[in-house]
Structures are given as structure tokens and as C-alpha cells.
Amino acid sequence: MSFVIHKKRFFEIIQKAYPIVPSKTSLQILLNFKLTFSPESLDITATDLDHSIRVSSAISGDGDFEITVNAKKLFEIVRELHDDELTLSIDENVLTIESGGSFSCKISGADSRDFPAYPEIPEFTQVNLEKEQLRDCIIKSSFAVSKDEARACLCGVLFEVDKERMGMVSTDGHRLGSCFYNGSFDVDSKVSGIISQKTLLHLVRIMDAEDAQFELEIQFGEKYMLFKTESFILCTKLIDGPYPDYRRVIPADNPKKVALNKGNLVESVRRVSVLSNQKTHLVKFIFKTNELEIVVLNRDIGGEARQILPVEYDGEEHVMGLNAAYFAEILNIIKTPEIRLEMNTQISACLIYPVYEKEEDKKSDDLFLIMPLRILEEV
């Protein structure tokens, strides 16, 4: 049996599936791709048992066949080939790749029956979402996922959909990111799931590789969630919940409000934080009438830095310590030129909002939160 596919297209679908392959596993079959050939299509499947992906492409050939081959070797071989038509042929459990009449190689495979079956969701709620909406929610929430496996539910992103609102939120206890879209969504009641960061970031990479606009079909199941388009199906095992009530950490009373130019703030924080402590990244923010002073004092290296910025603020003096790395990450996610900070005390959460010139420019409800650090030294 032989099949013909262009190298560029073959490598594109390999790239989409390859990140799901585990780097280490005691189950050797998981280091393989499962290649499913039919006369008009090729499916590549990869899984680590928690995440599974099936990527499809048009192909010309004859017959139906399945084979599993080492994913790393197939990735490396195809990457090095010239941009040409490839001929793939299968003889029992051996895959042969020929390119340009001058190159050929053989990769021994394994019986595809040993490869784990693709997860099925017997009962699910289906939601269709636009690519850009889903991507926006992922970018604005997934950065705040916790790395502490002792609290597994915080190691994922909470995805919620009800009839009039859809969005994502995550928090690690030190920061929070959330993005919600208002609209009409075809669900009978609220559905939700906690999704791993690995799944969502890989989904973003796949969406970024697709030039065209498209809708994703999303299936919410009891144990799995599935993202589906014409060219791929990505399935992820949900993280056991419930997710903590994140609304309780968002303070309602924030009398101190500051409007700032985001670009100037990002540059100033980056400049001053060069001298900050490498463990805490502590930077001190002193808000005065129409002025913000950003200060770092690092006694370990005898370093000190100060930057003064004009801001829109007319409240009483307010001092706050922040992790500069966390703060800069949030600022870089926000795309508006202006932002607004809302604060109360030195130890209560600081809320960060994008500010839009026109109300019609606002597509989603975005909220970012960062918890202050205690300021032990005098600056």
C-alpha cells in the first residue's frame, strides 16, 4: 500500500500532534504515533493517557491501514526532508518514506491494536465557540495556574459556560486572571470543567497555526472535555474539582483608583526591577497625588533604583509592594494602552483592569488580580 502527501502538510500535522507525546513513560507504546490511512485521509493520533489528539489531513492512496511508529524519529526525519512530495508505503509493520527519488528510509512500527483507544464521551453538552474568543480566554487566564500539585484543582483553568456568559479563570493564590464573554450560548444549564494548562496552551499553538477563522465544537463531559474542528480533535481528562470560589478573593471595596499609561509602566517596572531581590522580585509602589514612585532597595547587593511616573490619582498616599515578575506578566497580557488599578490596604488584593477609549472596543470582561508582598525594609 502506498500513499502520497506533500512534506509541508505532513510535517504540519506531525507538529500539531507531537507535543502530546510524553517525554518519559513506562508504557512504551505512548512514545508512538498511530497513523491511520484511508484512500483520502490520514489521521495521526498521540496520547499520554490524560491528553489525546487526532489530527487529519487529505492524502491520496489506496487501501486502509493502521500502524504505530516512534513519534520522535518520525518528527526528526520528516523535518529534515526537502519540500517535496512524499510517498509513504506500509509493508506489514514497517513504514517506508521516499522523497524526490533520492531518499528513502524505513521505520519499524508496532501493532496498532496495542495503542490506547481514543477516549469517548458518552454523554456531553455541546457548545460552539469562535476561535478568537476561546484563544483570548486562554491567554488571559492560563498564566495564573498553580504549580503546587498538592492542590490539584488549582493546577488547571476553570472553564465555565452558561446561557449568557462564557469564560475562563485561574489563580494560584498570589495572582488571578479571568476573561468572560457575554452572549447567547446554547446550553440548558451552566456547565464547567477544570482543564490542564498543557491542553490549553497546545490548543493555542494549534489555533495560531491555522490562518482561517473557524468555530470550535466543544463537548463538556463528566470526565473529559473535547475540542473539535474539521482538522483536529483534542481531548483532555478533566482535573477533579470542585474549583474554589474565586469570587471570594476579589475585594468589592476598593476606594483607591489609579489610571496609568501601560507602556510607561511596563518600561519603568522592567528598568527598576533589575536590582530587585531575585527570589521575591519585590518592587515598592508609592502612590501620591498625580504621581507614582517605583522603588527598589536591595541590601544584598547594595543596589537602589527609583522611577517617578505621572498618574491620574487624587487619593491619600498609598504604599504597596508587588512581585515585579508577576506584575509585568499581567501588564504584557493586557493590550489596551491605558490600565486602571483599584486598591484598598497594603495587604489587600490589587485589581487590574484594561481601560478602553470607546465602550464598543470592549469585547470581553477582563479582570486581573495580584496579591501584595509585605515590605520589610525601609526605602
Is 169 in the same domain as 265?
A: no
What is the pLDDT at residue 327?
97
Q: Is residue 119 part of a domain?
A: no
CB-count exposure of residue 302 (10 Å: 0-12, 13-18, 19+): exposed
pLDDT value, residue 377: 55
Residue 336 shares a structural domain with residue 238: no
pLDDT digits (tens, 9 = 90+) for 136-170: 999 999 999 999 988 899 999 999 999 999 999 99
Evaluate if residue 376 carries a pLDDT over 80.
no
Average of per-residue pLDDT across 208-214: 81
Q: 366 pLDDT exceeds 60? A: yes
User: Which pTM value belongs to this model?
Assistant: 0.91
102 & 132 share domain: no
Q: Are residues 18 and 102 in the same domain?
A: yes
Residue 107 confidence (pLDDT):
96
User: Is residue 257 a part of any domain in this protein?
Assistant: yes
Residue owning grid cell 547587593: 301
Q: What is the maximum alpha-carbon separation in the chain?
A: 78
pLDDT category of residue 379 using cuts at 50, 70 and 90: very low
- 333 and 366 fall within a common domain: yes
Query: Does 331 fall in a domain?
Result: yes
What string of H, E and C letters represents the secondary structure of 2-70? EEEEEHHHHHHHHHHHHHHCCCCCCCHHHHEEEEEECCCEEEEEEECCCEEEEEEEECEECCCEEEEEE
CA distances from 266 to 175, 261, 263 (A): 17, 9, 5
Mean pLDDT of 90-100: 91
- The pLDDT, as a whole number, for residue 302 is 77
What DSSP character marks residue 242?
A: P
State whether 223 and 165 are in the same domain: yes
Q: Is the pLDDT of residue 50 over 70?
A: yes
Per-residue pLDDT at 106 exceeds 70: yes
The residue with greater pLDDT, 290 or 302, is 290
Phi (first) and psi of residue 284, to 5 degrees: -95, 130
pLDDT greater at residue 215 or residue 369: 369
* Residues 143, 106 within the same domain: no
pLDDT at 378 over 60: no
**Element (DSSP H or E) covering residue 318:** strand 318-323
Phi-psi region at 100: left, alpha or beta (left = phi > 0; alpha = psi -120 to 50): left
* 120 found inside a domain: no
Residue 71 — pLDDT band, cuts 50, 70, 90?
A: very high
Q: What is the tens place of the pLDDT at every residue in 110-131?
A: 888 999 999 999 999 999 999 9
Residue 159 placed within a domain? yes
pLDDT at 4 over 50: yes
Q: Which grid cell is 157?
A: 483553568
DSSP tag of 97: E
Instruction: Please tell me which residue, 92 or 341, carries the higher pLDDT value.
Output: 341
pLDDT of residue 92: 83
pLDDT band at 318 (very low <50, low <70, confident <90, very high): very high
264/206 Cα distance (integer angstroms): 33
Domain ends where: 202, 222, 247?
Answer: 247
Which CATH number goes with the domain that contains 194?
3.10.150.10
Residues 28 and 107 in one domain: yes
Do residues 255 and 331 share a domain?
yes
Grid cell, residue 142, equals: 492560563
Residue 196 domain flag = yes
Q: Does residue 58 lie within any of the structural domains?
A: yes
Give me the mean pLDDT over the 341-363 stretch: 94
Total tally of structural domains belonging to the chain: 3
Q: What pLDDT was estimated at residue 62?
A: 84
Cα distance between residue 342 and residue 349, in whole Å: 9
Q: What is residue 211's DSSP assignment?
A: -
79 and 132 assigned to the same domain: no
| 243/254 same-domain check | no
Number of helical H runs and strand E runs in the chain: 6, 25
Report pLDDT digits (tens) over 221-253.
999 999 999 899 999 999 998 999 999 989 988
Domain around 40: 2-114
The answer to whether residues 141 and 209 belong to one domain is yes
Task: Give the end of a domain, one of 247, 263, 278.
Answer: 247
| Helix, strand and coil percent figures for the chain, each rounded to 5 | 25, 40, 35
Mean pLDDT within 14-20 = 96
Domain end (from 247, 281, 303): 247
Q: Give domain status of residue 106, yes or no.
A: yes
